[in-house]
Structure 1
Amino acid sequence: MAQQERARRTRELILDAAAEEFALRGYADTTMHAVVARTDMTKGALYGHFPSKEHIAGALVQQALEAWRALRRHCETPDLTAAAALEALALGLADRLCTDVRFRAALRLTADRRPYGADAPDVRPYGADAPDVFEDARQCLISLVRRAQQEGAVRPHPPEVLAQLLLVFVYGTLHASRRGAEDEPLPGWEEAWRVLIEALTTKAPVEHRTRKHTFPKES
């Protein structure tokens, strides 16, 4: 049991170190040597747990998918209106990005592997068959926007456009950083959300709508 616990801790250490590198540099510019340097272990010990960079990235992407599904279950409860669920989901995604380096790294990995433009190559060096967290989130947001519009809580813009705007807000928290601080998200994203949601909603001022959410933290 003690040996199993040591192996588990070593694996977690590797995932944390790799997440720091992936979040900062992306998949292509992250090296196993850099991951080893962050862990203070031998390269042989690292390869004993993960045979390649691809396997580490795949593990992080899978964890992000599980975290996203947990967040979605948490936000789509029957007692919430669609507008409240929409708010909880967007804030929950932003919260994970700001507080969980593994989730932050995995979403960057997921975004990096998506092709840009009709003629761009579909480069998927890892997890090629894994569901796309961004696409799943987009479809979920579109559905919630439609429901919120039916409730009369969100302005009647195309749901696809509003969902894309919300994803831009969420993904923007990944790249907004303090000057001179390595990969440190900019504070104030909750206030940015209040400004955005006030522009989208049709009725009460945002201060009457926005409430503090407690999000699931399982990894």
Structure 2
Amino acid sequence: MLTPYTHHALPPFITHLEMGTMAAIPGLAYCQLSFDRYAWQDELFARYAIPFPPRLHAAGVKRRAEYLAARYGAKRLLAHHGCDASVGMAADRAPLWPAGWCGSLSHTHDRAIAIIAPGDGGLTPGVDIEMLAPETMRETADMFTSAQEQALLAACPLPYESALLIAFSAKESLFKALYPEVRRFFDFDAARVCQIDTTAQRITLELTQTLTARRAQGSQLTGYYFLAEDHLITLIA
């Protein structure tokens, strides 16, 4: 799913950074990175030229590290495509993208990912990254999937817990992709999983309610997933 074109690191905080593209979604670029929160220093905001938002003054090291890592990934992507700007934070805490660009950010534990696309490309990017947590998935499955979805996921070739995580993450990506258009919170039951193609690493979601005039009940959206040894990435655009 992910096709990298560069790798490097900026120790001690950023231990690995990878940038690349996604063949299945032309125009979409990604940057995923690993970071060490124990190497955190507040001066990293200045070093990486990321504006420090007032909302982070009361935040701890974990939140500051996650915020900086994801936005540094976005900054590197934007710079690679000729945009010398950073991603800010809107009043509703959503990422505030530079004019002419759209994208999505996600982070978990010591990993972060950013995706970007030209604003006039017709894409609505949403990304999510999650650590594998089989026991948690089993215990919380009813919170984000219906009995019908659970039966579909149990029947696919993947381990059931991995399939559950893909469903959870894909719905998180869906929310991030549609929020700029919908502009309000909607829950996991606003969409259902109707297909997982493990060969193409593709998942199809169907809206179960009308969110906007353009996003009507019954509309389908396609997402993609990348399942690694200890984490999962899902993308919708």
Using structure 2 for the length normalisation, give the TM-score. Answer: 0.25
Q: Higher helix proportion, which one?
A: 1
Q: Higher strand proportion, which one?
A: 2
